[in-house]
Amino acid sequence: MIYAVTITELDDFNAPNGALNPQESWREGNGSPSQPFQQPTGGPDGSGFLRDSSSGSSPGKNMQLWNTAQWTGDYLGQSIFSLSLDANNLSGPGGETINLRVALNGPGGWFVTEPQVLLPETGWQSLLFDLSSSGLVHAGQGNAVYDSTMSAVNRLQIISLEEDTFDIGGNAGLRGDTIVATLGLDNIKAGAAIPEPSGAALILIGCAGLIRRRR
Ligand SMILES: [Ca+2]
């Protein structure tokens, strides 16, 4: 396997008509009849985006899709500690809520973020996921060591998962919720560590205290 991820990775799904891999290697399991596909227009800036559906019944019942190509590799070496994306719950009026999470698998096992709620009929939302050790919990398998997975990620998965009950299938990876839903994704982007405002604020308060004492 060639570990390829870089800090500049961006999936914008803007490939022109007739391109070889417009879905940018995002996929579901082999048996799923609802593989993710590029929608040529309708993204947050009007450009192409990725559309994926779950049927609520087998096959293709779970809201989940994954990448084992450009998103595999050494996140620590590339200083990738966050992931941002634009998401749109396209399930329609009265549709299911999507609880979007990012999950990564590697020698340390599965690690997953907290869910971010994506209600239907709310349009495109810009979401930021913390991939630092404080933003991820171990969901099963491997040696449970954060560095082990993040230095050799073999799969990046995007799922809807409301509860912290983790069901890991073989090929399916970390299973998403069994819901009838449609998800739009665009601008899946690697990022650096998210600054901690609380820590910075504490330092500022500390400095103000020092300045006051000197006067
Ligand atoms: Ca796009």
Rounded distance between C-alpha atoms, residue 98 and residue 93, angstroms:
13
**Cα of 109 to ligand 1 centre, how many Å?**
31
Domain ranges for the chain, please list them: 10-214
At 32, is the secondary structure helix, strand, or coil?
Answer: coil
Confidence of residue 169 (pLDDT cuts 50, 70, 90): confident
pLDDT, position 202: 64
pLDDT, position 31: 86
**Cα of 48 to ligand 1 centre, how many Å?**
4
pLDDT, position 171: 83
**Cα of 40 to ligand 1 centre, how many Å?**
8
pLDDT, position 80: 98
Confidence of residue 197 (pLDDT cuts 50, 70, 90): confident
**Cα of 148 to ligand 1 centre, how many Å?**
32
Residue 105 has pLDDT above 70, yes or no: yes
Phi (first) and psi of residue 97, to 5 degrees: -75, 135
pLDDT, position 30: 87
pLDDT, position 205: 61
**Cα of 188 to ligand 1 centre, how many Å?**
9
**Cα of 187 to ligand 1 centre, how many Å?**
6
Residue whose C-alpha is closest to residue 129's, from 149, 99, 109: 99
| Residue 24 · residue 140 · CB < 8 Å | no
Confidence of residue 214 (pLDDT cuts 50, 70, 90): low
Q: 215 or 37, which is more confident?
A: 37
Give the pLDDT confidence of 10-28 residue by residue, as tens digits.
999 999 999 999 999 999 9
pLDDT, position 15: 97
Segment 108-126 shows an average pLDDT of 97
**Cα of 166 to ligand 1 centre, how many Å?**
31
Segment 94-111 shows an average pLDDT of 97
Segment 92-102 shows an average pLDDT of 96
pLDDT, position 208: 59
Mean pLDDT of the chain: 92
Residue whose C-alpha is closest to residue 95's, from 184, 187, 206, 179: 179
Residue 203 has pLDDT above 80, yes or no: no
**Cα of 12 to ligand 1 centre, how many Å?**
4
| Residue 4 · residue 69 · CB < 8 Å | yes
**Cα of 199 to ligand 1 centre, how many Å?**
35
Q: Does domain 10-214 have CATH number 2.60.120.260?
A: yes
At 214, is the secondary structure helix, strand, or coil?
Answer: helix
**Cα of 44 to ligand 1 centre, how many Å?**
7
Residue ranges with CB less than 5 Å from ion ligand 1? 12-14, 43, 47-48, 186
**Cα of 43 to ligand 1 centre, how many Å?**
5
**Cα of 112 to ligand 1 centre, how many Å?**
25
pTM, full prediction? 0.90
Interacting residues of 13 by C-beta distance below 8 A, sequence separation 6+: 22, 23, 24, 38, 39, 43, 47, 48, 49, 50, 185, 186
**Cα of 114 to ligand 1 centre, how many Å?**
25
Phi (first) and psi of residue 54, to 5 degrees: -125, 145
Q: Which two tokens stand for residue 56?
A: 């609520």
Rounded distance between C-alpha atoms, residue 68 and residue 55, angstroms:
23
Residue 126 has pLDDT above 60, yes or no: yes
Reading phi first (left if > 0) and then psi (alpha if -120 to 50, else beta), residue 69 is in alpha
